């Protein structure tokens, strides 16, 4: 198996979060199926992109916390969207209180907002000593694939794989739960980034194509949407994109990478 695949697998293991690999895999599958719905809802009910991102993150954290206790009394999507509605109400109430005391963001001069955005984009950890996977993470950050917190958490996890989330959170100035969710999202994005931009690290196009063929059958095969998205984006490098292709591609990459080990 490619050392890249081994290392990425170790990075995506529960590790600092605790719990079994089965729990982490179950959450990943469940969240991947509803993430697009949550994102659309967040953008629909939010006034600004930052608000939508904040809401999405809060819902992901709540779902992460409650996943082990979910017993399927209702559909998973319905459960998550109920969380989203509650978090939207909470955020709306909080912002209403703040707006009674503070100027609206629209009142802040454009140049100030622009400078703050640039400062946030430049907020990255120092050059990594976390090896080649750290270098790939840095490259993904430069391509704006990873958000600042996602990048920082992955680098911290690579440097200190045995640290609990609370310790990592102290290092990156975030809560333990925010770090866990940021790490989960980063691993999904890094998988896709490797397939889109660094096939050489995965063994080359030939090995990836063979893994794709194996992923079409067997346990948990690619869905038609996942197969179409992977072939179009990764194998054919086509500019054609169907609706929902990003979610389908994330799911496809998670399945294909399991088949990169020779059968």
CATH architecture, domain 128-197: Orthogonal Bundle (1.10)
pTM above threshold 0.75: no
User: How much is the pLDDT for 17?
Assistant: 45
User: How much is the pLDDT for 54?
Assistant: 78
Asked if 11 and 187 touch (Cβ cutoff 8 Å), the reply is: yes
User: How much is the pLDDT for 170?
Assistant: 92
Mean pLDDT by 10 residues, the chain (263 residues): 56 50 67 85 82 81 78 77 87 58 42 38 40 85 90 90 88 88 87 90 90 89 92 84 82 88 55
Give the HSE-up count for residue 157: Cα atoms under 13 Å, Cβ half-sphere: 30
User: How much is the pLDDT for 245?
Assistant: 85
Per residue, the 3-state secondary structure of 200-243, as one string, reads: HHHCCHHHHHHHHHHHCCCCCCCCHHHHHHHHHHHHCCCCCCCC
For the domain spanning 13-102, the CATH number is 1.10.1740.10
Asked if 224 and 23 touch (Cβ cutoff 8 Å), the reply is: no
CA dihedral 76, 180, 165, 190 (to 10 degrees): 140
Q: How far apart are the C-alpha atoms of 120 and 229, rounded to whole Å?
A: 32
């Amino acid at each position: 198996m490619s050392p890249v695949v081994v290392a990425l697998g170790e990075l995506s293991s529960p590790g600092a979060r605790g719990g079994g690999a089965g729990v982490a895999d179950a959450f990943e599958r469940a969240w991947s199926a509803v993430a697009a719905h949550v994102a659309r809802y967040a953008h629909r009910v939010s006034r600004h992109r930052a608000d939508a991102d904040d809401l999405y993150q809060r819902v992901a954290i709540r779902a992460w916390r409650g996943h082990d206790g979910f017993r399927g009394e209702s559909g998973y999507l319905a459960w998550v969207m109920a969380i989203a509605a509650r978090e939207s109400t909470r955020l709306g109430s909080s912002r209403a209180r703040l707006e009674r005391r503070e100027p609206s963001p629209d009142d802040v001069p454009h140049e100030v907002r622009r400078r703050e955005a640039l400062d946030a984009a430049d907020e990255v950890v120092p050059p990594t000593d976390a090896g080649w996977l750290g270098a790939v993470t840095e490259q993904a950050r430069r391509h704006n694939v990873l958000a600042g917190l996602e990048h920082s958490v992955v680098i911290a996890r690579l440097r200190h794989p045995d640290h609990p989330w609370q310790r990592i959170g102290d290092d990156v100035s975030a809560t333990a739960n925010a770090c866990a969710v940021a790490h989960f999202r980063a691993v999904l994005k890094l998988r896709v980034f490797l397939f889109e931009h660094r096939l050489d690290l995965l063994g080359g196009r030939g090995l990836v194509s063979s893994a794709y063929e194996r992923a079409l059958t067997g346990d948990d095969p690619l869905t038609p949407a996942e197969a179409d998205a992977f072939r179009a984006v990764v194998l054919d490098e086509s500019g054609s994109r169907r609706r929902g292709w990003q979610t389908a591609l994330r799911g496809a990459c998670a399945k294909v990478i399991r088949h990169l080990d020779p059968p």
